[in-house]
Amino acid sequence: MEEQDLVDIEVTHDDPDNLVDSYSSGVADFPFHRQTVVANRLLAGQPDTELRSLAGVDTEQVKLLEHQVDAAHRALFDMDGKALLADEVGLGKTIEVGMILKEMHYRETDGSVLILTPAQLAKQWQGELREKFGLEFVCNYDDEFRGFNAHDRIIASIDTAKSERHRPTVLAREWDVLVMDEAHYVKNEETDRYDLIEQLTYDYAFFLTATPIQNELTDLYNIVTLLRPGLFGSRDTFHQYFIDSSQDTLVNQNELQRRLGQVMIRNRREDTDIDFTDRIIETRTFEPSIGEKDLYDAVTEYVRGAYSQDSGQKLVLMLLQKEVVSSPAALEGTIRKQLDEQHELTHRDELETILDKIDAIESVTKQDRLFDIVEEARNHVEMGRVIVFTQFRATQRQVLDGLDEQGYTTHAFHGGHSSQEKEEIVDQFREEGGVLVSTDAMNEGRNLQFCNIMVNYDLPWNPMKVEQRIGRIHRIGQKREVYVFNMGLKGTIEEYVLDRLYHKIDLFQQTVGELSTILTRMEDSGQSFEDEIFERLVNADSEVDLENDFDSMAIDLGQQQELSQKVKAFNNGVFESFDLGTDDD
């Protein structure tokens, strides 16, 4: 090749200042210096295609599985840092990317990294990369986020990145690494999302999806073309060559497989040795006391009335509705705050009545029934370990007080603790056993497989949060059956959410990660799960109406679920005959 046809070479020399400073602060004894030089010689003598950072992964935090290590290795070294990671759901694609990023960090090839995810997963990514791999990223939802040109490691929702405000800065930068979660978001070449990714400049890219094909094979073409433009030729060529349009079936499969093998890795559940233990769900609903029923009705009536007058108060009203089924203590805090903050409150009387009704409650039914579960655990499970989840700090305090009074060993976990404190709390829970009462601040990275009993003291209206709670203990590495207890008060919104919605979509038995594909579909069409529930609750004219409304929502959900199962089955069908394993280089 002629000199003018060769690519350019850019040479940079790191400043030796640090080393020179080391000299100023003293020279080491020769044996130690020799050891350092020899160690550097040996490090340099390792093969270049080895995941060197593996030793630095904290195996307490993450158990790396063979297929994950293999995928990370192939993505980096066989696919030259451009790969579509298309493992089936629940096999740990995030872990694979974590390993890739850790290795790139170790080798200092990750000057700037942009991770694009669906909005609801951004914080989860941040937590996982921090806890499991020690990698710090700024998320666009963090207070400290100052824009896409202000940080070198960013996790952002793809919609934020493509927004008019941020798009110019996202595109102005040359990113070293781009990661895109749920890559099927960019399956359609006519969307702004696709356009953004197509225009981004980056050296290495890792796209993740369990279902590269959402509707048709063109989806696969579009995603792969973003990673490797030209690999499949033009869209028409792809269609002519790989799709029998009369039958709408695949042709030239071997060639398609050969080309896909250059860029895509797909592990299937049955090819791995992951063995998920059983999950046993027990939903316990209790008759509320007269006082509790009275309080619930008063709050619901108040919420309906206030919302019909001023829908701007939606968030606080939704909060009240959630709190009333969590605990009187949680409710009391918000009511008092309302009364204190707004002197000219139109509903002062109603709120004061609610306070009176809270005062009238002598014993909290859920709390009493919680003791039964905890006691069973104490008698049957190692060190009586139980995790109780609640959404509210006030409920958490009340539950903790109750358990303390009964003489149980307790631990509190909430968002107000520092990372160090959180670590210590989990350690103490592991060592001392007893009951850990946690808010939903318990993030993805926490490793709690040593416990196998979980109680949903109250239920988030966002099923992802429920799944995340369960995922804390029912995950790779859990060796025992997992028991999930759901607590709910009869005749309340909780019962509807539990019975009509969560059980209908079989929420409590969803494989880890599967739910996001259902919800992503739903939320992609502009619906928020929480809003849907709230709107139904406040707009129902009668109990029958409410039941019907929830039934229709369940049907919608069921349809989304069916669709996502169809997509999954379709992908499995397409890739079934494909060997995209390690030996097809």
Partner 1 sequence: MTDVTHAVTQSTLEAFAREFLDNLGATIREDGSRWHVRLPSHADVGFTDVHEFDIALDSEQEGLEDAVHVLTPESGFTQQLLDEASETAPVGQLALTEAVTDGIYQYPSWTRESDVDVVDATFSPYYDRMAVCVFVRIDIETVSEYQTQFLEAVTVDVESTEQLPNVTELLVDEFFTPGSDWPADPAEDVDDESGVSSEKLNTAITTGQKAVVEGVRDEISEVRQSASRAADSEFEEYRQLQEQQINELQDEIGSLSTRLQKLSTEVDEPESPQQRVKALEKRKELKTEKAELEGELEETLQEKSRGYAQQQREIDRRHAIKVSTEPKAFTIVLYERGEITLELATGGRSTAVRAPYTVGVGVTDDVQCENCQKQLSGENPIRVVSGRICCQSCR
Among 231, 250, 345, 563, binds partner 1 (CB under 8 A): 231
33 part of the interface to partner 1, by CB under 8 A: yes
Can you give the three-state secondary structure of 414-446, one letter per residue? CCCCCHHHHHHHHHHHHHHCCEEEECCCCCCCC
Task: Provide the strand spans (E) within 183-331.
Answer: 201-208, 243-244, 249-250, 264-265, 279-286
Structure tokens at 212: 């590269």
For residues 100 and 435, which CB has a smaller minimum distance to partner 1 in the complex? 100
479 part of the interface to partner 1, by CB under 8 A: no
146 part of the interface to partner 1, by CB under 8 A: no
Task: Return phi, psi of residue 182, to 5°.
Answer: 50, 60
From the CB of 421, what's the least distance to partner 1, in Å?
Answer: 21
Window 173-212: contact mask with partner 1 (x via CB under 8 A) = ------------------------------xx--------
258 part of the interface to partner 1, by CB under 8 A: no
- Are 187 and 222 in contact by the 8 Å Cβ rule? The answer is yes
For residues 36 and 277, which CB has a smaller minimum distance to partner 1 in the complex? 36
From the CB of 55, what's the least distance to partner 1, in Å?
Answer: 3
5 part of the interface to partner 1, by CB under 8 A: yes
Question: How far is residue 375's CA from residue 466's CA, in Å, rounded to a whole number?
Answer: 24
407 part of the interface to partner 1, by CB under 8 A: no
Among 70, 120, 192, 233, binds partner 1 (CB under 8 A): 233
From the CB of 233, what's the least distance to partner 1, in Å?
Answer: 6
Among 29, 143, 273, 275, binds partner 1 (CB under 8 A): 29
- Are 132 and 97 in contact by the 8 Å Cβ rule? The answer is no
Looking at this protein, which amino acid is placed at residue 444?
A: E
β-pair partners for 485:
282, 455
From the CB of 102, what's the least distance to partner 1, in Å?
Answer: 13
User: Dihedral angle at the C-alpha atoms of 54, 57, 58, 64, nearest 10 degrees?
Assistant: -70
Residue recorded with tokens 């109406």 = 545
Helices 348-360 and 328-341, packing angle to 10 deg: 150
Structure tokens at 490: 């009869």
From the CB of 244, what's the least distance to partner 1, in Å?
Answer: 19
11 part of the interface to partner 1, by CB under 8 A: yes
Among 30, 144, 341, 349, binds partner 1 (CB under 8 A): 30
> Among the candidate windows 35-43, 113-121, 467-475, 546-554, which touches partner 1 by CB under 8 A?
35-43
> Among the candidate windows 40-48, 127-135, 427-435, 467-475, which touches partner 1 by CB under 8 A?
40-48
- What are the C-alpha distances in Å from 228 to residues 207, 252, 260, 470? 12, 20, 10, 38
- Coil vs helix vs strand at 85: strand
420 part of the interface to partner 1, by CB under 8 A: no
Among 169, 215, 237, 548, binds partner 1 (CB under 8 A): 237
541 part of the interface to partner 1, by CB under 8 A: no
Task: Return phi, psi of residue 284, to 5°.
Answer: -115, 115
> Among the candidate windows 5-13, 249-257, 298-306, 513-521, which touches partner 1 by CB under 8 A?
5-13
Looking at this protein, which amino acid is placed at residue 310?
A: D
For residues 76 and 361, which CB has a smaller minimum distance to partner 1 in the complex? 76
For residues 27 and 544, which CB has a smaller minimum distance to partner 1 in the complex? 27
Number of residues engaging partner 1 in binding (CB under 8 A): 62
Window 324-343: contact mask with partner 1 (x via CB under 8 A) = --------------------
Which residues neighbour 267 within 8 Å (Cβ) at sequence distance 6 or greater? 67, 71, 87, 88, 91
Question: How far is residue 283's CA from residue 456's CA, in Å, rounded to a whole number?
Answer: 9
Sign, CA torsion 209/215/219/221? positive
> Among the candidate windows 36-44, 129-137, 387-395, 545-553, which touches partner 1 by CB under 8 A?
36-44
Site for partner 1 in 105-134 (CB under 8 A): 107-109
Window 47-86: contact mask with partner 1 (x via CB under 8 A) = -xxx-x-xxx-------------------xx--xxx----
Structure tokens at 40: 């550097």
For residues 75 and 89, which CB has a smaller minimum distance to partner 1 in the complex? 75
245 part of the interface to partner 1, by CB under 8 A: no
Looking at this protein, which amino acid is placed at residue 184?
A: H
Can you give the three-state secondary structure of 344-388, one letter per residue? CCCCHHHHHHHHHHHHHCCCCHHHHHHHHHHHHHHHHCHHHCEEE
From the CB of 258, what's the least distance to partner 1, in Å?
Answer: 15
- Interacting residues toward partner 1 by CB under 8 A: 1, 5-14, 16-17, 19-20, 22-24, 27-46, 48-50, 52, 54-56, 76-77, 80-82, 107-109, 203-204, 229-231, 233-234, 236-237
